[in-house]
Amino acid sequence: MIEINGRHGIIYEEIHGTDMLKIMIGSIWKVNAYARKLAHYHLSIHKPVSDNICTVKEKLEEDLNRVDVLSDENKEIARKYLKQLPEGDVLCHFDFHPGNVMIANKKEVILDWMTACRGDSCADVARTCLLLKYGEVAHAPWVIRKLISIFQHHIYKIYIKEYLTISQRSMEDINSWELPVAAARLREWISENEKKELLQLVNELCNKQRSKTY
């Protein structure tokens, strides 16, 4: 942190390279290989970290409290469900996707750590899965959005298969975080279409939780 003329800021290292998403788009035949690398890069950051950063659960609960498109009842269901999930103690990026992995001098540099937190690695993976399955470019023509969606779904399938193999975690572990992660994303600046799809997903997951109580 520095101060210049009464204004505070953070100095970032300048990185010269190309993000993985652009590389994938420019080299379609290498998509599978890079999607697998994405899984390895993600696992490499999931190491135990000190307790001086906020936890995944704290972050998700704060975001949940700011969501304005969910009913109060479903917000409460999501909060109670979140409390039952494991704490975890590893570093989580929480915005990990190909666009945030820069390849510079044949080495990867992971960018954008503003959302970093500590918790269960499966929460971090669930967030990446959500971004790849539902994330879209706002204001882009329908055809472009559709093509990008197909491309991202393909990356997701390769990425998650590789991550499950090398991490020895299960899809059940990752899916267990889908409800709170999806609900929390509803507070972000996302396209109306993505918001609509996520809201439908969250409501369906809340209904499943509700049915278990009766």
Q: Where are the domains of the chain?
A: 17-212
Average pLDDT over residues 64-92: 97
Helix (H, G, I), strand (E, B) or coil at 55: strand
Between the CA of residue 32 and those of 13, 24, 38, 171, 207, what are the distances in Å? 30, 9, 10, 20, 36
User: What is the spatial distance between Cα 117 and Cα 14, in angstroms, rounded to a whole number?
Assistant: 23
Give the chain's mean pLDDT: 92
Report the share of the chain in percent with pLDDT over 90: 79
Q: Cα angle at 155 between 60 and 140, to 5 degrees?
A: 75
For the ranges 10-24, 125-139, 145-159, which has the lowest average pLDDT? 10-24
The fourth-level CATH superfamily of domain 17-212 is: Aminoglycoside phosphotransferase (APH), C-terminal lobe (3.90.1200.10)
pTM metric for this prediction: 0.91
Look at residue 15 in the predicted model and tell me its pLDDT. 67
Average pLDDT over residues 119-127: 99
> For the segment 50-65, what is each residue's pLDDT rounded down to a tens digit?
888 999 999 999 999 9
Q: Are strands 90-92 and 101-104 parallel, antiparallel or unpaired?
A: unpaired
